Structures are given as structure tokens and as C-alpha cells.
Amino acid sequence: AGAALIGGGTSSGAGGPVCSASGPEICVDLVGTPAIVAPSGDTDHYVNYVAHIANDGSQSATHTGADIDLSGGLVLDSVTSSGGTCSLTAHPTCTLGKLAGGADAIVEFTARVPTTEGTGKATLTVNFDERASDGPTPDPKQDTVIVDEDTTVKIPDGSAATFVPEGASVSL
């Protein structure tokens, strides 16, 4: 997993949550399971992602939102959140609203994996405002925390597919 921080932020360690450095202390963690999955074929295969978004400070965050971006052939299948609403559109997003100090929200989404081997990446961008009077559109006071999770798409070692040389075919 990796992290990028906009509006000032720090990472609390590899694999752990990423937290904002200014304003409300918003910490975000993203985990995808399984970490290694077989490519989709006759049967579709999926990765389930769970993001935990916590306000670990005492200051409320307003207009909190979470945007989902998938790459590497991953295709979003579903998205839900523990509060607010989510849209399954070309630009999937969850509108979480106000996140009071000590409160948290969960965003869960499922992605179908591609038919080819490679690396898929899920990126979650959480944005929020520091003041209640701020509007829901991005402004100079808006903070952003970005986390991502890689998923390896490969044929499992020891499966029948790994015993057939590439380009060969088998008839049963």
C-alpha cells in the first residue's frame, strides 16, 4: 500500500493508516482481500476492499467525501458506506457528510479483476473541510488524504494452468 498526502499529512507507517497533518485528524486505511487473486475467466473473480476513515481528533470535518479510482483492469462492481450515500458511476464517490471528532465511517467496495495477469490498484481519495461554513466544493482550505492498495492478479502456482506451457492447448 502507498500514500500521497495533499494539504499536509503524514504516514503512520507501512500498511497502517495515513493521517492528515492539519485541521481535523482524519486517518484512512485501505485493505483489499485477497491480495493475490486469479484472473477472471469463465467465472468472474473479485477483490473486496474496506476503507476505515476515522476522525482521531476533536475537531469536526465537514463535507467529507471519498472518491474511488481503479486501475490495472479492475472494474468497480459495488460500493457502500456506513453513513451517507455512494454512487456507482463513471466517477464513483461516497458523500459521507460531517465526521465529528472521534467518529468514523466505513467504505466498502468490490472490484472484478481482469482476464489477464498483472497488478490492479485501488485508490481512495478522502477530502474534507475544516470549517462548517466551507462549501462542499474544493477550496484552499480543503484537505485530502490519498491511500492505495495493490492487488496481484496471477494464476496460482500449482494450478492446472501453470503446468501447460504458454501458447499450448490441452484437450480432455
Phi, psi of 3 (to 5 degrees): -150, 145
Cell of 138: 474544493
So what's the pLDDT on residue 167? Answer: 62
What is the reported pTM?
Answer: 0.80
So what's the pLDDT on residue 51? Answer: 97
Query: Does the pLDDT of residue 2 top 50, yes or no?
Result: no
* pLDDT tens readout for residues 78-121: 999 999 999 998 889 999 999 999 999 999 999 999 999 999 99
So what's the pLDDT on residue 168? Answer: 58
Query: Does the pLDDT of residue 166 top 80, yes or no?
Result: no
Query: Does the pLDDT of residue 69 top 90, yes or no?
Result: yes
∠ Cα 101 134 3 (to 5°): 60
Local confidence band at 148 (pLDDT 50, 70, 90 cut-offs)? very high
* pLDDT tens readout for residues 3-14: 433 333 333 334
**Rounded mean pLDDT of the chain?**
83
Give pairs for 30-36: CB < 8 Å, separation 24+.
30/1, 30/122, 30/124, 30/147, 30/148, 30/149, 31/149, 32/122, 32/149, 32/150, 32/151, 34/151, 35/151, 35/152, 36/151, 36/152, 36/153, 36/154, 36/156
So what's the pLDDT on residue 23? Answer: 79
Higher pLDDT among residues 89 and 160, named by residue: 89
